Structure 1
Amino acid sequence: MIGLLSGTSMDGVDVAAVEFRLRAGVIESLPLGYSSLPYPETLRRELVSLTRSEDKGPSAWCGLETETGRVFATAARYGVEQLAGGRADLIGSLGQTVRHETVRGRTLGTLQLGGSARIAEATGLPVLADPRSRDVAAGGQGAPLAPVLDVLWLAGLFPPVGNTPPPGRVLALNLGGIANITVVGEGDPLAYDTGPGNALIDAAAELVGSEEGRDTDGTLAARGRVRPDLLERLLSDDYFRLRPPKTTGKEHFGDEYLRNALEALPEVSAPDLLRTVTELTVRTVTEACAAHEAALVIASGGGVANPVLMSGLRRELGRHGAELNTSGQHGIPPDAKEAFLAALLGFLGMHGIAGNIASCTGAEGPRVLGTITPGNRPLSPPDPVGTPVTALRISTPSAFHTSDRESTCASSTWQ
């Protein structure tokens, strides 16, 4: 199984190869490899520019869809040939989100680019893409979808022992362009976007003229100090007071939000701006985690590579008695987790298993997600799974014998 996506940072396509096997309600997963293929710089700039503009016509969007699809097709072919040893059965793609329209807590629509037809043409494999739209059609917000992985993964990491309650609540944190958390252990699972993650840091870096359009390794933020007046303005946004489930995006927490907060303030230096915006993510994530009495927070996503952000989170979470780990300490490299999710959504959809968690997205109920683009062969899906899926476990390579690995793909994925 190959998983593809490009996050809200719009810097390239992440690709993961994973082998899945379903046994007695538990998904056993064997990660085969992960990589990230950067967008050509001209395409990245066009993506960022076009998604901020209200004036671009259909010709510009059509061209963007074409070029994005080509990069996704190249990434898919790389995943099959280089990561999966030339053997794969299905591509799961979350695409490149370019618009997620939410008004007063209701998602009106969501738009992803990524050319599933081009992926199928390049690989000859069926593609399960556009999983968000079905959740939106069912009254949900189409996001976050990571909770389906988080809930199963955390159940595999920390299985319940009898009726003994766990020593403390474990939360999964994704530090992507937008930060989100998944909460289990207090009734129905809950997941929501806490607010900006890396996207606003990138916007601040572009505003001060950073050549890379980002604060690599938190270098600028490390030289600055938090400006209390600016932080107070940033924290005054109404989104932070909304009750979950809730979702947001760069449409809300982008350069306009930042410019509005800077109006009428004394000049803010570049290092102070980056430090303050980074602290905003620290404070809003910590507040959300503390509200759920987290004892352990497991972080993933691109923000894990930002030492200023991570040290701030470790400091603030520690004040609330919570430990901060990374997903890499528990079997999934932080950068690979969302591509792993895309592969999992493909596996679930193929087997007729719901890929959303309604209590997290706000949908009317569980839904099988995704739209299938056929490959070179007739579709021959397995029989739908009739028993509940309760956990996901990350297996070591030795967990699957060679003979099992050869039969696993054939028996549990598209023929």
Structure 2
Amino acid sequence: MLVIGLISGTSVDGIDAALVDISGTDTDLQVKFLAGDTYPYPTKLKEKILAICAGEALSMPQLADLDDAIALVFAQAAQHLQINHPSVELIGSHGQTVYHRPPQRRGEGFADILGYSLQLGRGAVIAELTKIPTISNFRAGDIAAKGHGAPLVPRIDAYLLSHPHESRCVQNIGGIGNVAYLPSRSHPHWLEKVRGWDTGPGNSLLDLAVQYLTNGTQTYDGDGNWAASGTPCHALVEKWLSEDYFQLPPPKSTGRELFGWEYLQNCLVDTNALNLNAADTLATLTELTVASIVHSYEAFLPQLPERVLLCGGGSRNLYLKRRLQELLAPIPVQTTDEVGLSANFKEAIAFAILAYWRMLNLPGNLPQATGATQQVLLGDVHLPM
């Protein structure tokens, strides 16, 4: 089946679209990547999304307009990607996350508070504009089962990237970092031993810092070159790692609600107090992302992996990758490209697969990663009229 996967992550860089040919079910899943591209948001739309993620209030009519505007650009991305390719049979659209609240376990005598996660870009609108069946709202089913609704990719990583004899960590570095721990398939009941959680900030603080330090003239640190010219302050990194989230055991999830503008401002108070220049500030924030990943592995994995595979935008940050390799040595740190799966479009590919599984009535979540009480079908089905 030819399927398009669509996602815009917490970095709001643009819409990643992947066209894949999928066959099999789950244990015999086969995926062939045919095409991929990233479609930037119109400037005003991106600014509006970022403002809302930072806490800007909006009315219900404004919310409806934004939902439709995001759906329109998602539909246009799907339409553009399928030009010169055979007819696509299905779209899986993650949409744009604008708010994420993890569930709260309140203990005996108190009712738990369900999580909540809002992705804009209505699947029904995408289906009607493209005339292609569309699956969206993937996180709601897991959240209803008392899960975090995130991360949803570990089940896919398990079937596509696990190894017969080698344990691996698949580390996505988007706006937020998340990991899937994959034991070797030689272990009995290996799928039950797969774990996953959000490790903390990925690119979110780095991109915000670059925008702040350049008065908005730059949006990211290309290849990590600016950070590489500085010197990280390890004492500050240790201080920042005392944040409660880093000590919280999995399953856990986070977002810009924690690691966003307000968090950055607190970090900048610390860097200014030590008179760190811009390069040293970026190097220190980059070190926080790297150190939070390493801390997460050392604190919560049953054992360190034998290989780490990076994906997402942060995998292109050469300085970040080098620092991660240095801290994890002698464990090799590569990208998923090096084992045959596009690092740039892996998340979009994942939501194509989740849509495919939904049409086959196969569960998409992994309860030990999301905290859900059971495996559930993920996504709402929207058929064009």
Q: What's the TM-score once normalised by structure 1's chain length?
A: 0.84
**Cα displacement (A) at 1:240:** 0.6
Structure 2 match to 1:204? 209
Residues 29 and 160 of structure 2 are in contact (CA less than 8 Å); yes or no, is this contact kept in structure 1? no
Aligned equivalent of 1:225, options 213, 220, 231: 231
Q: Counterparts of 2:350 and 2:74 in 1: how far apart (Å)? A: 16
Structure 1 match to 2:110? none
Are residues 1:121 and 2:128 paired? yes
Structure 2 match to 1:176? 174
Q: Counterparts of 1:24 and 1:55 in 2: how far apart (Å)? A: 42
**Cα displacement (A) at 1:373:** 0.9
Q: What's the TM-score once normalised by structure 2's chain length?
A: 0.90
Once the two structures are superposed, residues 221-248 of structure 1 have per-residue CA deviations (whole angstroms, 9 ceiling, x without a partner) of 1221112343233212011101011111
Once the two structures are superposed, residues 177-201 of structure 1 have per-residue CA deviations (whole angstroms, 9 ceiling, x without a partner) of 1111111227531100111001111
**Cα displacement (A) at 1:93:** 0.8
**Cα displacement (A) at 1:107:** 5.2
Relative to structure 1, is the Cα distance of residues 285 and 360 closer, same or farther in structure 2, using a 3 angstrom cutoff?
A: same
Structure 1 match to 2:262? 256
Structure 2 match to 1:273? 281
Aligned equivalent of 1:147, options 137, 154, 162: 154
Residues 72 and 115 of structure 1 are in contact (CA less than 8 Å); yes or no, is this contact kept in structure 2? no
Aligned equivalent of 1:310, options 315, 321, 343: 321
| AA at the equivalent of 1:306 | N
Relative to structure 1, is the Cα distance of residues 24 and 317 closer, same or farther in structure 2, using a 3 angstrom cutoff?
A: closer
Q: Counterparts of 1:365 and 1:81 in 2: how far apart (Å)? A: 39
Structure 1 match to 2:92? 92
Relative to structure 1, is the Cα distance of residues 126 and 273 closer, same or farther in structure 2, using a 3 angstrom cutoff?
A: same
**Secondary structure in 2 matching 1:69:** helix
Q: Counterparts of 1:55 and 1:233 in 2: how far apart (Å)? A: 32
Aligned equivalent of 2:334, options 325, 333, 336: 325
Once the two structures are superposed, residues 106-150 of structure 1 have per-residue CA deviations (whole angstroms, 9 ceiling, x without a partner) of 652110011212211221111010110110011000000010111
Aligned equivalent of 2:305, options 276, 294, 299: 294
Once the two structures are superposed, residues 81-106 of structure 1 have per-residue CA deviations (whole angstroms, 9 ceiling, x without a partner) of 24xx1411110111111110126566
**Cα displacement (A) at 1:38:** 0.7
% identical equivalent positions: 36
Once the two structures are superposed, residues 4-49 of structure 1 have per-residue CA deviations (whole angstroms, 9 ceiling, x without a partner) of 0101110110111111111794011121111111111111111101
Residues 73 and 115 of structure 1 are in contact (CA less than 8 Å); yes or no, is this contact kept in structure 2? no
**Secondary structure in 1 matching 2:345:** helix
| AA at the equivalent of 2:297 | C
Residues 107 and 142 of structure 1 are in contact (CA less than 8 Å); yes or no, is this contact kept in structure 2? no
**Secondary structure in 1 matching 2:323:** helix
User: Which structure 2 residue ranges, 5 or more long, are not aligned?
Assistant: 106-112, 184-189
**Secondary structure in 1 matching 2:372:** coil
Structure 2 match to 1:59? 61
Relative to structure 1, is the Cα distance of residues 39 and 24 closer, same or farther in structure 2, using a 3 angstrom cutoff?
A: closer
Q: Mapping of 1:384-395 within 5 angstroms?
A: none
**Cα displacement (A) at 1:267:** 2.9
User: Which structure 1 residue ranges, 5 or more long, are not aligned?
Assistant: 160-165, 377-415
Q: Counterparts of 2:27 and 2:276 in 1: how far apart (Å)? A: 54
* Residue-pair matches, total: 363
Q: Counterparts of 2:114 and 2:202 in 1: how far apart (Å)? A: 20
Q: Counterparts of 1:49 and 1:329 in 2: how far apart (Å)? A: 36
Structure 2 match to 1:35? 37
Relative to structure 1, is the Cα distance of residues 204 and 23 closer, same or farther in structure 2, using a 3 angstrom cutoff?
A: closer
| AA at the equivalent of 2:146 | G
Q: Counterparts of 1:348 and 1:154 in 2: how far apart (Å)? A: 17
Q: Counterparts of 1:207 and 1:104 in 2: how far apart (Å)? A: 33
Structure 2 match to 1:412? none
Q: Counterparts of 2:259 and 2:136 in 1: how far apart (Å)? A: 26
Structure 1 match to 2:253? 247
| AA at the equivalent of 2:277 | S
Relative to structure 1, is the Cα distance of residues 9 and 107 closer, same or farther in structure 2, using a 3 angstrom cutoff?
A: farther
Structure 2 match to 1:365? 374
| AA at the equivalent of 1:255 | W
Relative to structure 1, is the Cα distance of residues 24 and 132 closer, same or farther in structure 2, using a 3 angstrom cutoff?
A: closer
